[in-house]
Structure 1
Amino acid sequence: MKPRALPTLLAALALLTAGVVPAAVAAPPADSRVVAAGKRVVGYFTEWGVYDRNYHVKNIKTSGSAAKLTNIVYAFGNTTGGRCAMGDAYAATDKFYDAAGSVDGVADTWDTGALRGNFNQLRKLKKQYPNIKVVWSFGGWTWSGGFTDAAKNPTAFANSCYSLVEDPRWADVFDGIDIDWEYPNACGLSCDASGPNAFNNVISALRTRFGSSALVTAAITADGTNGGKIDATNYAVAAQKLDWIMPMTYDYFGAFNAQGPTAPHSPLTSYAGIPQAGFHSDAAIQKLKSKGIPAAKILLGIGFYGRGWTGVTQAAPGGRATGAAPGKYEAGIEDYKLISTRCPSTGTVGGTAYAFCNGQWWGYDTPATIRNKMVYANNQGLGGAFFWELSGDTTAGALVTAVKTIG
């Protein structure tokens, strides 16, 4: 790093996190780049992205992202009946790829027993980028309800997961397992009352079954409030068995509160007028560290999408709204590659960006705010960064590039 680069960025970050400032302040010097967040650049690939989103494993390569990633999290497998189960078996193992759509330019075959789908494409990607490791994630918002049963017999759950992940047909594709339980001993789509030690019991059983050489990771709540979801579970003990832990430092605010107030969904720090104290990335990171989780095991989460409202008259954060802004796939949410051109950033607050246009208010990260978040991650000694998810990026991988490098 050039000697002048870090002071410049830290000064910019101080301005950014103090409150609302012009978007231009966020831009780092264009001529200085170092490896960001030290060790890991972890990206989610969604199983269902091959449908409406038309995002395939080959796009990880053609965007240039494969060369920058250390890990891919494949989302999601199901949790049902206290067991790990396939999500969409067709997309995972059977979808046919012709030569043009395949990572290596070789079409799939219809031979009996031949592996196709995302798993085969990931196999091909790993052959070309052997330093990429892949973990299969189970749960997520929709399928976390099954963890309550899993916690009743963690050994049986771990055995079922191992049998599925290490199935001989695709064992070489995966380097371990990720658990995305939303949320142990708390409420997400459904509520769990398994107790503060249930998460650790499940993770311990998985580590025992998968062994020390496999990756065992977890995505967790990023609720930094006192008495909130982080405090509801003994994450610190479980972290001892995990290779890394991913607090989901996004989705703090959004049009799930239809009338607002408008606020960015992934603030790095607090700011004057933030709707909920403790709902920002730094609060979660500091709480996890205070519980004894080593910083090097914590990854900072980045969202490759925006959350927005419509019926807004105020450009600054904190305005009222009439509902969710339209999105291509879901109201109130839009991929970065779409929202960044449709409603470009007009300002920054709390270390992230926002945009106001045509009565809509959006919060999302840009390459500039991501690079500043990576400065924060490095200064905190974090183990890297992760993001949800690859298809939200531009075709040239602008956001992955920002995660990989800082100014």
Structure 2
Amino acid sequence: MSTQTRWRRARSSRTASPGRRSKTLAGATALLVPLAAMVGLAAPAEAASSATAVYTKASDWGSGFEGKWTVKNTGTTTLSTWSVEWDFPANTKVTSAWDATVTNSANHWTAKNLGWNGTLAPGASVSFGFNGSGTGTPSGCKLNGNPCDGGSTNPGDNAPSAPGKPTASDVTNSSAKLSWAPATDDKGIKNYDVKRDGATVATVTGTTYTDTGLTAGTDYSYSVVARDTADQTGPASAATTVRTTGSGGGGENPGGNGKINLGYFTNWGSYTAKDLVTSGSAEKITHINYAFGNVQNGKCTIGDAYEDYQKSYSAAQSVDGKADASDQPLRGHFNQLRKLKAKYPNIKVLWSFGGWTWSGGFGQAVQNPAAFAQSCYDLVEDPRWADVFDGIDLDWEYPNACGLTCDTSGPAAFKNMMQAMRAKFGANNLLTAAITADGSNGGKIDAADYGGAAQYINWYDVMTYDFFGAWAAQGPTAPHSPLTSYPGIPAQGFTSADAIAKLKAKGVPASKLLLGIGFYGRGWTGVTQSAPGGTATGPAAGVEPGNQYYKVLKTACPATGTVGGTAYAHCGKDWWSYDTPATVGTKMAWAKSQGLGGAFFWEFNGDTTNGELVTAISSGLK
């Protein structure tokens, strides 16, 4: 397949939303304004550990500034979580933050680690930043309850241990009873904070609590934090997921015959979770891959904090018609997907990491597969959104081959990664991967052990599109997603049938293979020949050069023929190829005849407002 930058996997460039931090601007400003003196401050400290927090004002533009905190573990034991507290003068406040969850009560501010950056080995450090308004500086800093300079608020009085993982009993459609083993402390335990989905819902003195007012058929994540007689809090317990009884809505399995109908939902697109409802698509899909999380420095990391969990939605934009509150613990796409799952409990959501643009980090990550898997698990299972995700999807483009960058990890790296992921995520979480469809001899399928890794995954999303495109600017014109070969195809092995056959031959069960459908077309301009194989002068104009959504092409350049089981169109000087409801139907019939597990598509943005391509997949799989 082409190593050209692929539009379906590229994060589209867009202007930052109002109030969003621009790292480019902040960095430029920092060059012009001298750094303020570093100020050491204090916060809640972990038992038998030592840590510091240092504040730096990175830039100041008069009406506002950029601040940065650096937390360092100066002790000899691993720090499992951190929380920095400080006070600002009345005229100073945080307006946006990154790499930490920042909240306030009046002028008192608290920043807590995210799921992926809470663990600090001895000597390790982590930073988080924020934009602020006003001119004040922080005071009264505490790190995990102790002074930020590494001292102790209560010398000789250690913070409590983590309580035991909560267990659930007496679960009904609206309540659940939680019990846990007590924490230990050298001075005694005062009480426990019970947290539901990361937010404190009760403070109790005993080791049981019954949570009420819950929604039927809904997953909730619970953890517990102990507080000692000096009001020091310890680390949170391990989280447990509880599902209430009954049904929260939705209907029968939309895929039909147990088949999977999965769609990619991008965090940069104009499509929202509510659009899945109004288009009717939510009733017809079984799974969503949320794209993308990043892979950096050997870890899974947040892709876009603002879009993922910080952006507020109005009542008109929200799945349930209720506006986000400014102080609620979870907003953004994550909260909207949570609401979507409450309305359609049959839908499962996976968090997809990597993609075309962000696959360069996998090579470093697989050098330590267990550590990589742990980082991904910690992020996906972050208590704030653990109930949103039912598993993880790894989109590595491509192991031991070239995509946007070239990987030299070796043929075993992919299998080793998936083995570590399954060991960490366990049998109850979904584990999938989007993989190449290059079925040519010695091509990308041959470069990695997809057959050996199949034992660890639930299914593969086989990317059976982008075989041909206008990165070959002069042509020949060819369909980007042929189901089967045809006379004159520019390269052998570049069809859906070839890819599926090769994966089966490598030992991948047919039931673990999903056929990929692109909700977009690829096209050339300067084309005089209607049939495939013509010459061109370059990419056709589209949402990006050579690319356009199906919802536009169906009327702007209607299909004039079919080849290899997909459609093409010649209008004026432009030549496009894309799938229509009719060719999707053909492909679904073929998928069923091959015993495949179902189909997936890239991505919701390309479909019509009434979801006609999603409907075609759903109907075709029944």
TM over 0.5: yes
Aligned counterpart, 1:9: none
Shift of 1:37: 7.5
- Confirm or deny: 8 A CA contact 1:37 1:384 kept in the other structure: no
Structure-to-structure mapping, 1:121-160, within 5 angstroms:
121-160=336-375
- CA distance in 2 between counterparts of 1:118 and 1:85 reads 16
Structure-to-structure mapping, 1:5-404, within 5 angstroms:
38-49=258-269, 54-111=270-327, 114-328=329-543, 330-404=544-618
Deviations 1:80-120 (A, max 9, x none): 10100011110000111000000000000011x52110000
Aligned counterpart, 1:19: none
**For residue 267 of structure 2, what is the amino acid of its counterpart?**
E
Shift of 1:291: 0.8
User: What RMSD, in angstroms, separates the aligned Cα atoms of the two structures?
Assistant: 1.1
- CA distance in 2 between counterparts of 1:227 and 1:247 reads 17
- CA distance in 2 between counterparts of 1:37 and 1:362 reads 34
Runs of 4+ in 1 over 2 A off after TM superposition: 34-38
Structure 2 unaligned residues grouped into runs of 5+: 1-253
- Confirm or deny: 8 A CA contact 1:355 1:361 kept in the other structure: yes
Mean CA deviation greater in 38-47 or 166-175: 38-47
- CA distance in 1 between counterparts of 2:329 and 2:351 reads 20
Using the size of structure 2 for normalisation, the TM-score is 0.59
- Confirm or deny: 8 A CA contact 2:255 2:285 kept in the other structure: no
- CA distance in 2 between counterparts of 1:277 and 1:37 reads 33
Deviations 1:160-209 (A, max 9, x none): 00110000000000000000000000000000011101001111111111
Larger Rg: 2
For residue 252 of structure 1, give the secondary structure of its aligned residue in structure 2.
coil
For residue 447 of structure 2, give the secondary structure of its aligned residue in structure 1.
coil
- Confirm or deny: 8 A CA contact 1:64 1:397 kept in the other structure: yes
Shift of 1:55: 1.2
Aligned counterpart, 1:13: none
Give the structure with the higher percent strand. Answer: 2
**For residue 239 of structure 1, what is the amino acid of its counterpart?**
A
- CA distance in 1 between counterparts of 2:381 and 2:471 reads 38
For residue 360 of structure 2, give the secondary structure of its aligned residue in structure 1.
helix
- CA distance in 2 between counterparts of 1:37 and 1:264 reads 30
Percent sequence identity is: 67
For residue 326 of structure 2, give the secondary structure of its aligned residue in structure 1.
coil
Using the size of structure 1 for normalisation, the TM-score is 0.89
- Confirm or deny: 8 A CA contact 2:255 2:284 kept in the other structure: no
Shift of 1:237: 1.0
Aligned counterpart, 1:18: none
**For residue 561 of structure 2, what is the amino acid of its counterpart?**
G
Q: 1:263 to 1:38 in 2, by over 3 A?
A: farther
- Confirm or deny: 8 A CA contact 1:260 1:320 kept in the other structure: yes
- CA distance in 1 between counterparts of 2:257 and 2:439 reads 21
Q: 1:227 to 1:58 in 2, by over 3 A?
A: same
- Confirm or deny: 8 A CA contact 1:37 1:377 kept in the other structure: no
- CA distance in 1 between counterparts of 2:342 and 2:258 reads 24
- CA distance in 1 between counterparts of 2:369 and 2:378 reads 14
- Confirm or deny: 8 A CA contact 1:37 1:385 kept in the other structure: no
Give the structure with the higher percent helix. Answer: 1
- CA distance in 1 between counterparts of 2:343 and 2:478 reads 41
- CA distance in 2 between counterparts of 1:55 and 1:304 reads 13
Shift of 1:35: 6.0
Number of equivalent positions: 368
Shift of 1:38: 4.8
- CA distance in 2 between counterparts of 1:260 and 1:103 reads 44
Shift of 1:247: 1.1
- Confirm or deny: 8 A CA contact 1:139 1:179 kept in the other structure: yes
Which structure would you say has the larger RCO, counting Cα contacts within 8 Å and 6 or more residues apart?
A: 1
Deviations 1:234-283 (A, max 9, x none): 00111110000011000000001111100010000000000000000000
- CA distance in 2 between counterparts of 1:38 and 1:385 reads 12
For residue 356 of structure 1, give the secondary structure of its aligned residue in structure 2.
strand
- Confirm or deny: 8 A CA contact 2:440 2:494 kept in the other structure: yes
- CA distance in 2 between counterparts of 1:105 and 1:300 reads 35
- CA distance in 2 between counterparts of 1:389 and 1:282 reads 21
- Confirm or deny: 8 A CA contact 1:38 1:378 kept in the other structure: no
- CA distance in 2 between counterparts of 1:165 and 1:383 reads 25
- CA distance in 2 between counterparts of 1:397 and 1:210 reads 33
For residue 104 of structure 1, give the secondary structure of its aligned residue in structure 2.
coil
Q: 1:368 to 1:237 in 2, by over 3 A?
A: same
